[in-house]
Amino acid sequence: MPSPAPSAARLLLVEDEADISEPVRRGLEEEGYQVTVEADGARGLAEALAGDHDALIVDWRLPRLNGRTLIEQVRSAGRTTPVLMLTALGDVEHRVAGLDAGADDYLPKPFAFEELLARLRALLRRAAEAAPEAAPAGHQAVHLRLGRVHLDAAGRRATAGDTTLPLRDKELRLLEVLLRHAGEVVSRTRLAERVWGSAFDVTDNAIDVTASGLRLKLADADPGVTIETVRGVGYRIVGA
């Protein structure tokens, strides 16, 4: 039997098609969620940054600002709010692009409302489970260092000296996992679970592309810090 909605969970739905947003809003409210709806990307971004939401549901194709850019800007602002992306663009390239922009999951259109509910519950559950790890009072270190590279895990910011590294959300998450296991091989399955939240909904190509992008940015920041590919297993970060 499906789990009930978290008590008074606050959602932001950014969707310009009223024939989708209205029934989704109504259905979510009937399930116990509090829902704010915005019909264009610019207003959606403003609400995402100003409001206090437990999860965002964002369409890819939006007027004024597309969903991918909206998510990138939310992540650039340091927000880690779970994001479910809705898209009629179901090919692998667009799914990978959405996940790399910072979405935590995607749902192709047309979709069943029951599946949207299930994915939303999973996002909120993973966020609740991860919260103690991110808390400064927890057992995990907040500041991680290797060579000149410094990661402020709580502030979601990576630097090399006085320079802030231009890392995307998934690159930051990948860097954190690797730094917490510096010198150790981290399997693809573990990376998929810790960075993308699922070992089943992410492709090997998405992991490889994210690792490659992070490797290049680290090379510019500190040539002594590198990400090694362990063929058939995963990745390892090492420092000189």
In this structure, the number of other CB atoms found within 10 A of the CB of residue 69 comes to 15
3-state secondary structure of 158: strand
Count structural domains, the chain.
2
Phi and psi torsions of 85, nearest 5°: -95, 130
Q: Write down the pLDDT at residue 6.
A: 56
Kindly report which listed range (13-22, 45-54, 126-135, 217-226) carries the lowest average pLDDT score: 126-135
Is 1 among the domain residues? no
80 and 108 fall within a common domain: yes
Q: Do 217 and 127 sit in the same domain of this protein?
A: no
The domain that holds 48 is classified in CATH as 3.40.50.2300
Mean pLDDT score across all residues of the chain: 85
- Chain centroid, CA 132 distance in Å: 17
Asked whether 16 and 37 are in contact (CB, 8 A), the reply is no
**pTM (2 d.p.):** 0.57
pLDDT in tens, 59-95: 999 999 999 999 999 888 878 889 999 988 766 777 7
CATH of the domain at 209: 1.10.10.10
Residue 149 — pLDDT band, cuts 50, 70, 90?
Answer: very high
| 114 and 169 share one domain | no
Reported as type and span, the H/E element at residue 92 is: helix 92-101
Which structural domain, as residue segments, surrounds residue 156?
143-239
CB neighbour class for 174 (10 Å; exposed up to 12, middle 13-18, buried from 19): buried
